[in-house]
Structure 1
């Protein structure tokens, strides 16, 4: 995760002036915040909000985190980064690492997800903690209001939020009032009145007025502290107090006139010039002032202005950083514009260059934009795009680029393409009002590519733009493929992209490999997908970003499962879980280990474990409606239910998938949902409905498209159920060839299993045995079981024949494969069949039988009378020693009989042998 540049004065409590008005009644009100979660100070500018909060913060016994907000903080990543920095400065131990990691991801989760671990860490703090947000009125991004409301809704008891704003924030204030969870200090409470007004003038401004004069000034200013302060500054230069008070009003326009006429004009020319030229700065130090004014003694000038009470506010104890009072700065800016308009863009450009040299991109770009030189802005911004991507500030990047006029943006293809990419990453499936703007950018970049003028683009720049447009085209085609399931156009891009050598920054290199991975996944080129994700993972490791690493590893595990590399996927799952634990288990990432566990457990026929893990994944992500995880988890649930005979539960799961799918509108999961319906209808004995689907489905014409593979296999199942074996085998031949060409092991094993079952159902046992040899050899290393069990009775029958023939040594199979086949038969023995009135006609039903000449022998070899006695005692739970005593034989002889029983019954252990004997009616 890149370390952002943070301005420490933003989260430093402003120092309290040595001479300040003491307001104990307001401090008493704020002290109630120790027992109430939220305090709001809402009033216009100049009413002393910041002074009150800093006074209270300095005397607080709690840990106080302070953050002064500005316009740049409307980016969610930047806002919460500063909040966490403030909390870290105040709290012990440091907190927020997990949230920061997620915020700086290239594809960050929602703010609620990112804030969850932060809230949990705050809840674990042993000491009361206060977070103060000053100038919150500068925040206008709705997502930030929503995220702050989320924090308030889940605020730990030891955590308190104080907020100062010129306007009421769009938070649930009414609800907080109803629950008595808010303290409010408003303008009426902050206004000076009576004795306070007199004390302020005497103690702070060193002016003594009569009670009548104080009352008059109070009426004119309406208790506005800055009005009192401005009036007092002017009074120092007036001999007639009454005449001044008659002319003075609290109108803000008149106040600005007074500032110009009464405060600025009496100052020496050099001080006036210094104030005017530095007014373009929101905060300043001696170096920035010198770069703008050329004043060598800028530090002494700042200190002199502070001593003169000229609205210069120190931002740290060292008097290094300062800012002007907001209204005073507005007066200065207005006068600068009126008297020296040509200097405004020059000063902003100087400020932009100074901040650029310091590496402070937000301040640099802000001043560059204020200079109105948008070519200059574009030049600076081009150098910052990669950094903004890596810092996760995509919304900020979009905002800055959108500021540029079209002619400037079209002349900077790197910025235009960065805008398209950033928008796609933030809103991959919704163009909305941006569609027309994005289309204009796209057409402009295509025109730029067609223009061969070297003055517009060099050959290297043209190649870079061409490659970026190819990557962006992947986004376009990817969205189209996700909506209509058509991936034909993506296939041509896979070959051209995977060998592309991109001379660009790390963001685009990652996007290149990500594009290869996505297109490969949609077009069924799974090995290419795995390789691309492994390359992305290496790039991620070079610039550590835990959240991005988790996302890449998630994609890699998904690809490994799709490719059939189950054991390697399982190894990566353990590493994945460690990363998730390190991040504090944020959702939806925390649900992926459960999903992967469910998918792998189902493949290995661990149905209870698979179902439990799937339910955990659903429970974690159902409130968020996270489609990817929910659809996969419901599919595992449906398959587990069908395997266990719970057809009602299976139907409920498929209906949940259908409902989710309709709510999103994509066709990505349609073929899988239809495939599950076909399985269910056949399991229910509803052949008519399955045949009707098969005759009308569009997948009949597109059965070789990888995205439709599950539907294509369901078509085969229906053909077999209709005993149309020849057509089923033709489809399987084509599917098998496609799987072989793309080296998709999972697809290969799935197709082979159906191939074996179809041959066996058709009575071609000899051919089925030949294909089964290959299937067992391919499937055994990964431990696949459900791929055999899900095709049902024909596979059960052919496995019995295969195992019997090898035990009788008619063929020479390895002990590993024999053990594997025994495990599969044990799975069949334990399978719970659907308890429906109608006989199921799924391939896994018993409606398919052998010709009499090919009946499966019950045992490879009959049991001897003694072995039958031993078997009966085993069923009673007797130990080997007990059997030896009962039958008056040696322990060695008992062990030999038990060994023979295991071999003849094709069992793995004593328990399995008893179950097998009961299945064969030997007990």
Structure 2
């Protein structure tokens, strides 16, 4: 049962100062989604928001949070309850979903809530007061998802003592956030006057009101400190006149508020407290342990709580009074004071602060402080020690920036730093830059070994890392033997080095086995990669290895096991490396696996939630192998939902990138062309489907899974073209290998298409036997959606199959889904960017190589005057992909620039004049 009083908006105090200028900022507007009212206690956050809510005509839901609400289900039960209490209908399904124990129940409830808000169409306001009580990483991530997918017109307002660890930087770039911080909450002179006279009931003379307002710049906390610094204290209660407030020093100048606080607050503090403020000013964040260490004392927690009580510009970063920071202006003023009075002590305090940060796992923050101090030798030493873990923890880009900031001679003299640069570039997917750097590094190491350098043993250890990088580069060249040999050699040598490389090495080995189609060996290697990654504390390797492992388990037919793998890996990473203030560490393999798993389980909305973060990478530009995988699963989801045109567009993009950038991909990506052919079959274009695939004996695929997928699509096309005997011949050869290597998903598809081929030959009884085998195999594995993706003829055969009419939840669900598919009168509406109209004369192209559909779309958008970035946004592809289409377009048209391309296209009839 929910506590209804938490949904009641506080009654506005008639004596409270009216804040019209702030209320106007809180008002809804496009594209804003979030009001963020952040300030310490006593800044009037709740009063401001309650005043605004009482005056708005839009429906408003209010929720007052407390420390008991920091649990996902309870939080979302109350949030949904707030909407219900305010009158939003249709939330019964949300409540039902939250009672389920499934891991994705909360996500499903949030998705349903978003859909209900969209369907309602009203401009709702949601206020969450005291949001600082919500500390759980899982709730923060779920809330981020909620904000990301809010429908237009919904405004959420958070009132909090601390800034929540949400992706605010990204939202601010999109103009989604209205920040109301202490600076905006500062009182104007008139508000200051009314605050003292009406709200506080204090009889402050007019000249003193003006002086305090000017001196404090309207900041309430600073106004209170002004009174304290002047030695006066109001004794009257609110609403009661008082005249005993002692006047403050009215010698006002133009100094910034930080100068004021330094002069009027620091200098009037007891010597012991002032010394604490100066000694801890070097800390970017403060906690008792850090302050005790640099001060050589044990009373820092009491000092921090004393500062908090006195409101001395100390801002809490949590609700347990463990972490704090000074206001930036106040801290800058303190630093200036101590560096002026005692520069040697200031230097020692900064050094102790960085050492504490490094010793207590705040490595990135410590390195940032060193870089800020421009202590290059110290930065080089710390990077050599900690850089590897930072890179494998997902911080490869900051490491590259730090290395670039170092003087060249420091990097040239350090093989460790050169190796870090190689790893950083590798994880940044800049593999084309690695060969010359590796050659240079190998020369340095050879000289050190030959000259018996003191670090010769370390140089030998780095050889294993170099070999490992070479193995990945060999994969980009499809040199599988060299890649495998190098990887196995690293495994032999690795126990003799001090470098934790087993996780990355086993991941490479898993890629090798996966490329050969040896799923059992690949699974074993990837399980080792996950295990060693956890021991070595390499979260990015754990996610990638676990994601590929789940992808294999899914294709093998163990869908539940694949989901468990993703869940366990995600839980470990979130437990050890979750930082809600940073972007969530994700893996292309894992999110793609989850997208495929939930798509196959006929839960497309959940699948889309796992796909959504990957689309950000496509838009921003990502490594070509990841680009192909993301577009493949995106196309597959669109295909499953009947959005065939969108699927065709993204799969053509995937095939194009995979073909052009093959030398930059360390594995053979999924066969996008095979899925593309199925899209053309679905819209009744078998000839176009056949053109995507090539001949059955095409050797372009080295991965057996991809080769099987391609051949199955070829068999589908042959059935569609009335050649079932040829299809049967192909499928007969595939069955033994698919069974032997446990390619169970493909085996189900093979048996289904085989059954259709037999039925086309009038061999109905044999066809039903083959379909019966497919159904039994799929039921054991939990496959579902793949049946609905087959041809109408095959779906009709399945509905009459006796095996599917037997009792059972899986059978009933599958039959219901097939009947729903058969009852659909039209494909689902397209969600992709409309393709601009091209002249019908384009079909009679005299070009030696015809323009592809994507190139025609690019041509039309160029004709409309769009820049490359605009074209990329409309087509929902990376800018680099648009550039590639334009290069191909120019090459086929025989032109060198846009104007020539448009003129040539009009002459050929591709565009209307």
Query: TM-score, normalised to structure 1's length?
Result: 0.50
CA distance change for structure 1 residues 209 and 267 in 2, over 3 Å: closer, same or farther?
same
1:379-415 CA-to-partner distances (Å, cap 9, x unmatched) read 4455555765676566666666666555445555455
1:776-833 CA-to-partner distances (Å, cap 9, x unmatched) read 99699979586689799999999x9xxxxxxxxxxxxxxxxxx9999459999xxxxx
CA distance change for structure 1 residues 397 and 251 in 2, over 3 Å: closer, same or farther?
same
1:568-612 CA-to-partner distances (Å, cap 9, x unmatched) read x22x3232244567879999857747857999xxxxxxxxx9xx8
> What's the offset of the Cα at 1:308?
7.9
Matched, 1:535 2:528: yes
Show the 5 A alignment for 1:100-249: 129-130=128-129, 132=131, 150-151=147-148, 153=150, 160-162=157-159, 171=171, 190-194=186-190, 196-197=192-193, 210-219=205-214, 222-225=217-220, 228=223, 232=227, 235-236=230-231, 245=250, 247-249=251-253
Q: Which of 49, 52, 55 is 2:43 aligned to? A: 52
Q: Which residue pairs with 2:281 in the alignment? A: 279
- Conservation of the 8 A alpha-carbon contact between 1:235 and 1:244: yes
> What's the offset of the Cα at 1:279?
1.7
Q: Which residue pairs with 1:661 in the alignment? A: 655
Q: Which residue pairs with 1:449 in the alignment? A: 445
Q: Which of 486, 490, 496 is 2:489 aligned to? A: 496
1:622-681 CA-to-partner distances (Å, cap 9, x unmatched) read 99477437647979999x9xxxxxxx9999987863343236654556987389979999
- Conservation of the 8 A alpha-carbon contact between 1:621 and 1:630: no
CA distance change for structure 1 residues 511 and 33 in 2, over 3 Å: closer, same or farther?
same
CA distance change for structure 1 residues 212 and 307 in 2, over 3 Å: closer, same or farther?
same
- Conservation of the 8 A alpha-carbon contact between 1:516 and 1:529: yes
- Conservation of the 8 A alpha-carbon contact between 1:234 and 1:262: yes
- Conservation of the 8 A alpha-carbon contact between 2:63 and 2:129: yes
SS at match of 1:52: coil
> What's the offset of the Cα at 1:509?
1.3
Q: Which residue pairs with 2:348 in the alignment? A: 346
1:165-203 CA-to-partner distances (Å, cap 9, x unmatched) read 89x977479987xxxx97968857631534744866999
- Conservation of the 8 A alpha-carbon contact between 2:23 and 2:48: no
Distance 2:223 2:26 in 1: 29
- Conservation of the 8 A alpha-carbon contact between 2:107 and 2:606: no
- Conservation of the 8 A alpha-carbon contact between 2:526 and 2:549: yes
Show the 5 A alignment for 1:279-428: 279-284=281-286, 288-294=290-296, 311=313, 323-381=325-383, 384=386, 388=390, 404-409=406-411, 413-414=415-416, 416-418=418-420, 420-421=422-423, 424-425=426-427, 427-428=428-429
Q: Which of 575, 578, 598 is 2:561 aligned to? A: 575
Distance 1:620 1:321 in 2: 33
Distance 1:714 1:33 in 2: 57
Distance 1:541 1:188 in 2: 46
CA distance change for structure 1 residues 338 and 172 in 2, over 3 Å: closer, same or farther?
closer
CA distance change for structure 1 residues 201 and 306 in 2, over 3 Å: closer, same or farther?
farther
Q: Which residue pairs with 1:555 in the alignment? A: 548
SS at match of 1:191: coil
Q: Which residue pairs with 2:460 in the alignment? A: 463
Show the 5 A alignment for 1:469-548: 469-478=466-475, 480-481=476-477, 490=483, 492-497=485-490, 499-502=492-495, 508-522=501-515, 528-539=521-532
- Conservation of the 8 A alpha-carbon contact between 1:192 and 1:223: yes
Q: Which residue pairs with 2:861 in the alignment? A: none
SS at match of 1:536: helix
Distance 1:669 1:41 in 2: 46
Q: Which residue pairs with 1:673 in the alignment? A: 673
- Conservation of the 8 A alpha-carbon contact between 1:385 and 1:397: yes
> What's the offset of the Cα at 1:471?
2.0
> What's the offset of the Cα at 1:234?
6.0
Q: Which residue pairs with 1:885 in the alignment? A: none
> What's the offset of the Cα at 1:516?
1.8
SS at match of 1:452: helix
CA distance change for structure 1 residues 649 and 324 in 2, over 3 Å: closer, same or farther?
closer
- Conservation of the 8 A alpha-carbon contact between 1:385 and 1:418: yes
- Conservation of the 8 A alpha-carbon contact between 1:231 and 1:248: no
CA distance change for structure 1 residues 227 and 796 in 2, over 3 Å: closer, same or farther?
closer
- Conservation of the 8 A alpha-carbon contact between 1:671 and 1:708: yes
Distance 1:32 1:334 in 2: 35
> What's the offset of the Cα at 1:364?
4.0
> What's the offset of the Cα at 1:470?
2.0
> What's the offset of the Cα at 1:333?
0.9
Distance 1:777 1:264 in 2: 78
- After TM superposition, the structure 1 stretch with the greater mean CA deviation from structure 2, 255-264 or 345-354, is 255-264
CA distance change for structure 1 residues 631 and 172 in 2, over 3 Å: closer, same or farther?
closer
1:422-477 CA-to-partner distances (Å, cap 9, x unmatched) read 5544x43x67xxx77x7786565334322325775634422321111222233434
What is the aligned-residue RMSD (CA, Å)? 7.1
Distance 1:597 1:263 in 2: 59
Distance 1:376 1:395 in 2: 20
CA distance change for structure 1 residues 384 and 195 in 2, over 3 Å: closer, same or farther?
same
- Conservation of the 8 A alpha-carbon contact between 1:313 and 1:323: yes
5+ residue gaps, structure 1: 1-21, 43-47, 66-85, 97-112, 135-142, 600-608, 641-647, 721-749, 758-770, 801-818, 829-876, 878-923
SS at match of 2:218: coil
Q: Which has the higher contact order (CA 8 A, sep 6+)?
A: 1
Q: Which residue pairs with 1:628 in the alignment? A: 629
- Conservation of the 8 A alpha-carbon contact between 1:312 and 1:322: yes
- Conservation of the 8 A alpha-carbon contact between 1:40 and 1:162: yes
> What's the offset of the Cα at 1:536?
2.5
Distance 2:704 2:270 in 1: 80
- Conservation of the 8 A alpha-carbon contact between 1:388 and 1:394: yes
Larger Rg: 1
CA distance change for structure 1 residues 690 and 317 in 2, over 3 Å: closer, same or farther?
closer
Distance 2:402 2:456 in 1: 28
- After TM superposition, the structure 1 stretch with the greater mean CA deviation from structure 2, 464-473 or 214-223, is 214-223
- Conservation of the 8 A alpha-carbon contact between 1:38 and 1:162: no
- Conservation of the 8 A alpha-carbon contact between 1:615 and 1:637: no
- Conservation of the 8 A alpha-carbon contact between 2:510 and 2:521: yes
Distance 2:354 2:686 in 1: 75
Distance 1:317 1:654 in 2: 51
- Conservation of the 8 A alpha-carbon contact between 2:504 and 2:541: no
> What's the offset of the Cα at 1:357?
4.3
Distance 1:652 1:290 in 2: 60
- Conservation of the 8 A alpha-carbon contact between 2:128 and 2:157: yes
1:863-884 CA-to-partner distances (Å, cap 9, x unmatched) read xxxxxxxxxxxxxx9xxxxxxx
Q: Which residue pairs with 1:763 in the alignment? A: none
- Conservation of the 8 A alpha-carbon contact between 1:289 and 1:298: yes
Distance 1:41 1:578 in 2: 40
- Conservation of the 8 A alpha-carbon contact between 1:279 and 1:329: yes
Distance 2:352 2:425 in 1: 31
Q: Which residue pairs with 1:846 in the alignment? A: none
1:138-157 CA-to-partner distances (Å, cap 9, x unmatched) read xxxxx99x968944737999
Distance 1:304 1:715 in 2: 72
> What's the offset of the Cα at 1:513?
0.9
